[in-house]
Structure 1
Amino acid sequence: MKILLVNKYHYVKGGSETYYFGLAKLLEEHGNEVIYFAMQDEKNYACPQSEYFSKNVDFNKSMSAVQKLSAGFHALYSFDAKKKIEKLIKDEKPDIVHINLVHRHITLSILNAIQKFNIPVVLTAHDLNCVCPTHTMLCDGKVCDRCVREHSYKPAIEQKCVKNSAMQTYLAVIEAKNYERMHMYDKIDFYICPSDFYRRQFVESHITKNPIVHWVNFLPSGTQYHLCKDIDDYFLFFGRLSVEKGLMSLVKAYHKGNFENKLYLVGDGPLRKDLETYVKENNLTDKVIFTGFQSGDELKKYVEHAKCVILPSEWYENGPYSILEAIAVGKPAIVSNYGGLPEIVDDGITGFICEPNNPDSLCECLKKMNSLSDDEYSRMSESALKKAKDSCDCEAYYNKLMKCYKELIKAKGGNKI
């Protein structure tokens, strides 16, 4: 089978790209052919299909008024991406298209091109862009589900929820209404949500009548599920140092508990300076360790030697790889009770669940982790490992996905290429 994978970035930027490249590897290992469509970027990995990639759009760089207007229209509907993916499909003739992140850069304009050839489309939902103008369900730093609950984008406009900008919010709402008018989401035949929480948001939004399922993200083929023997007595967060990850609550909880364990913050991001200031002002510089960005074997060492991994997110996480990778090596996890996180961690069994935006609740979870006896900790580690094995097996995921692909292709009755 030939599968066309689509994602705005063709280099590892976050969890969606971990999935995108991991899926490509999994499909190829089973004898399938994988081709790609993405956005042009100097950071992209080498790819035979790069000549087809759509033009690069960076909404974060400084732009003139004319450039901003042009970028705004592109975010609504990319004629460039539509034209280029149509040429790619004519030349490569894929059996199925599997979409990941596309909003605002590649855009759903590509669905109109794909539809011409009667090719099935699968979407893995890595964010909430399909149901929320901000794609995060965050407004002024607080979670908000009003647009989903009220089946209206009026709350977004009232709250200027996209970067507190009326103009950017209007553009995001116009994008959403335009897709609704063109029935774009009905042109996607099958939706995969890595968390049941995301699945419920999609169902409640009524964006489509097509199937929406919850499949936990798989871990890559070759993942070695095992318990770590040499454990150091430190707490660990790894990932992007940003507000929505709940890191200010974490350092406040750590400070409140006066713990002897060190706290390692592995990663980088916009909140780092504020975190470092808080740590310095509260005389924690010898105990809270900033390592900067780490990857590969170095990151693996931090995870394997940690006492536990912490992700106290203050937004609706989906199915984060940081926690899946941690439990795959038997690490108990402390997470907040938001989004898909409580689906991964069973409170008191594979870790502990704290209330979001609540340093006191998080502090209590850290204390509970420290109070575990050796036998209790071992049981929790074994339970975490079992959860990973049961939930994240790539072969089971592949079998489900191929069954889905084949049924969709059969239902379409063959393409028109």
Structure 2
Amino acid sequence: MTRPQRLLAINNYFYRRGGAESVFLDHIDMFEAAGWDVVPFAMQHPANLPSAWSDYFVSEIEYGGAGGPVTKARQAAKVIFSLEARRKIRELVRRAPPAVAHAHNVYHHISPSIFGALKAEGVPLVMTAHDLKVACPAYKMLSGGRVCERCHGGRIHNVLLHRCVKDSAVVSGLVLMETLVHRSLGLYRDTIDRLIAPSRFYRDKLVAWGWDANRIAYIPNCIDASQFTPPSDEGDYFVYAGRLAPEKGLATLVHAAALSRQRLVLAGGGPEEQALRRLAQDLGADVAFTGHLDKPELKRLIGEARALVLPSEWYENAPVSILEAYALGRPVIGTRIGGIPELVAHNQTGVLVEPGNPSMLADALVSVANLSPTARAGLGATGRDWVRREFSPELYRDRTMDLYEALG
């Protein structure tokens, strides 16, 4: 009997914390189901899922915790280059040699110090670009709430000059130092065999910022539509589901809700919640805030909405929330920015509008509201058929496996 292929799966967190973690954990489940032996490598955390390999996980870094200057200096050094992570991954690889390593988010906790160790051990390395960190020091190509590409061409001093990270000179300075160290050591460019871009937009943007197109593979996210049942009832509201953050375009959406006199539900939490509540009240907009919802509640809320609205004003990658809306048989209203237009077929699975344009978004809300329930269901059904054909777990697994085999 031949031994199964072994995958080393790497991510800062080993629990469902956000979109990247969901992709990471679903990836593990998918490859285990296909007969692979999957070994995780992550950071120790109280919320982590159980793992037989947790002794190899790196120590937790708790930001904002107590500690004097020496403690904070040590923490900063670990953020930039973790000697512990490099040592532990060497031990793990020697104990359980993998056929391939697949990294997701590693910066600030595990750190890319592990990449050189993997290369030295002869392990092929793949990394999914969940954001734009390998090009932009501040991950999002976003500064002061606006799209920003000032660091293009190596002008990374701009991250400190414009305080791009948390509007903090200290944090932005640390990120600048981190970027200088990582680039001088070639911790991404000289070690990663293939980058996976979940959107064509991210693939093209990384190429524009100097990455070799031959080292980037476009593999879209996936969803198992069989786990989603379109509800039979439809409500009289539109829904946004996600983090309440400035770049998400939610102030524009609240203005559009007021202009269109449409009911809006914002599901999720975040730093903008209080400002959005005040704005809705000042404008007389009919907006409900649900806070964080568990998955079953969120599925019901989206499934009974007239449409999911994604009014982002930054370079979104490949939002899984769009695929989930389609799996629930709902159309999507999205903005023409980042990877969103790749996932919304205008007037076929939803409507596309320009970002930051409340009147255009209001018109879209009205036009979708004026459709018959049957017409809205038709848009959603087209989306559901699309995800079943083009965004299935089987296709994702096969595309990724082909990539692994090409590196073997």
Name the TM-score class by shorter chain: over 0.9
For residues 205-230 of structure 1, give each alpha carbon's deviation from its aligned partner in whole angstroms, at most 9, with x where no partner exists: 2245751021110114x734665432
Matched to 2:103, the amino acid is I
For residues 219-266 of structure 1, give each alpha carbon's deviation from its aligned partner in whole angstroms, at most 9, with x where no partner exists: 14x73466543222210111112222111211111012123xx21111
Q: Distance in 2 between matches of 1:319 and 1:219?
A: 12
Note the 1:100-249 alignment, pairs <5 A: 100-148=104-152, 150-184=153-187, 185-207=189-211, 211-220=215-224, 223-224=226-227, 227-249=230-252
Do the aligned partners of 1:314 and 1:336 also contact (CA within 8 Å) in 2? yes
For residues 35-55 of structure 1, give each alpha carbon's deviation from its aligned partner in whole angstroms, at most 9, with x where no partner exists: 101111111111111111111
* CA separation of 1:339 and 1:41: change in aligned 2, threshold 3 A: same
Shift of 1:371: 2.3
Shift of 1:104: 1.5
Q: Which residue of 1 aligns with 2:92?
A: 88
Q: Distance in 2 between matches of 1:331 and 1:143?
A: 29
Shift of 1:317: 0.9
Q: Which residue of 2 aligns with 1:356?
A: 355
Note the 1:323-402 alignment, pairs <5 A: 323-374=322-373, 376-402=375-401
Do the aligned partners of 1:227 and 1:382 also contact (CA within 8 Å) in 2? no
Q: Distance in 2 between matches of 1:361 and 1:61?
A: 44
Structure 2 SS opposite 1:268: coil
Q: Which residue of 2 aligns with 1:74?
A: 78
Q: Which residue of 2 aligns with 1:412?
A: none
Structure 2 SS opposite 1:27: helix
For residues 363-387 of structure 1, give each alpha carbon's deviation from its aligned partner in whole angstroms, at most 9, with x where no partner exists: 1111121122455434322221222
Shift of 1:56: 1.1
Do the aligned partners of 1:227 and 1:381 also contact (CA within 8 Å) in 2? no
Please tell me whether residue 274 in structure 1 is matched to residue 275 in structure 2.
Answer: yes
Structure 1 SS opposite 2:205: helix
For residues 104-133 of structure 1, give each alpha carbon's deviation from its aligned partner in whole angstroms, at most 9, with x where no partner exists: 211110012111210101111111111111
Give the TM-score normalised by structure 1: 0.91
Matched to 1:4, the amino acid is L
* CA separation of 1:224 and 1:40: change in aligned 2, threshold 3 A: closer
Shift of 1:343: 0.8
Matched to 2:36, the amino acid is N
Please tell me whether residue 47 in structure 1 is matched to residue 54 in structure 2.
Answer: no
Q: Distance in 2 between matches of 1:210 and 1:38?
A: 29
- Worse-superposed segment, 157-166 or 110-119: 157-166
Aligned identity (percent) is 34
For residues 275-315 of structure 1, give each alpha carbon's deviation from its aligned partner in whole angstroms, at most 9, with x where no partner exists: 2222333444xx32222211222111112111100111121
Q: Distance in 1 between matches of 2:329 and 2:48?
A: 33
Do the aligned partners of 2:326 and 2:381 also contact (CA within 8 Å) in 1? no
The alignment of Structure 1 onto Structure 2 pairs a total of residues equal to: 403
Shift of 1:194: 0.7
Matched to 2:125, the amino acid is V
Please tell me whether residue 403 in structure 1 is matched to residue 402 in structure 2.
Answer: yes
Superposition CA RMSD, Å: 1.9
Do the aligned partners of 1:186 and 1:210 also contact (CA within 8 Å) in 2? no
Q: Which residue of 1 aligns with 2:301?
A: 302
Unpaired segments of 5 or more residues in structure 1?
Answer: 410-417
Q: Distance in 2 between matches of 1:358 and 1:240?
A: 20
Matched to 2:175, the amino acid is A
Structure 1 SS opposite 2:398: helix
Q: Distance in 1 between matches of 2:174 and 2:73?
A: 10
Unpaired segments of 5 or more residues in structure 2?
Answer: none
Shift of 1:146: 2.3
Matched to 1:155, the amino acid is N
Do the aligned partners of 1:180 and 1:207 also contact (CA within 8 Å) in 2? no
Matched to 1:390, the amino acid is R
Q: Distance in 1 between matches of 2:360 and 2:70?
A: 49
Matched to 1:384, the amino acid is G
For residues 155-189 of structure 1, give each alpha carbon's deviation from its aligned partner in whole angstroms, at most 9, with x where no partner exists: 33432322233333232222222222222222111
Shift of 1:389: 1.9
Q: Distance in 2 between matches of 1:105 and 1:297?
A: 31
Q: Which residue of 1 aligns with 2:311?
A: 312
Q: Which residue of 2 aligns with 1:413?
A: none
Shift of 1:333: 0.4
Do the aligned partners of 2:306 and 2:369 also contact (CA within 8 Å) in 1? no
Do the aligned partners of 1:323 and 1:333 also contact (CA within 8 Å) in 2? yes
Do the aligned partners of 2:329 and 2:380 also contact (CA within 8 Å) in 1? yes
Note the 1:14-33 alignment, pairs <5 A: 14-33=18-37
- Worse-superposed segment, 8-17 or 177-186: 177-186
Please tell me whether residue 97 in structure 1 is matched to residue 96 in structure 2.
Answer: no
Structure 1 SS opposite 2:102: strand
Structure 1 SS opposite 2:40: strand
Structure 2 SS opposite 1:146: coil
Q: Distance in 1 between matches of 2:206 and 2:136?
A: 10
* CA separation of 1:76 and 1:90: change in aligned 2, threshold 3 A: same
Give the TM-score normalised by structure 2: 0.93
Q: Distance in 2 between matches of 1:43 and 1:53?
A: 13
Do the aligned partners of 2:219 and 2:399 also contact (CA within 8 Å) in 1? no
Do the aligned partners of 2:268 and 2:293 also contact (CA within 8 Å) in 1? yes
- Worse-superposed segment, 194-203 or 204-213: 204-213
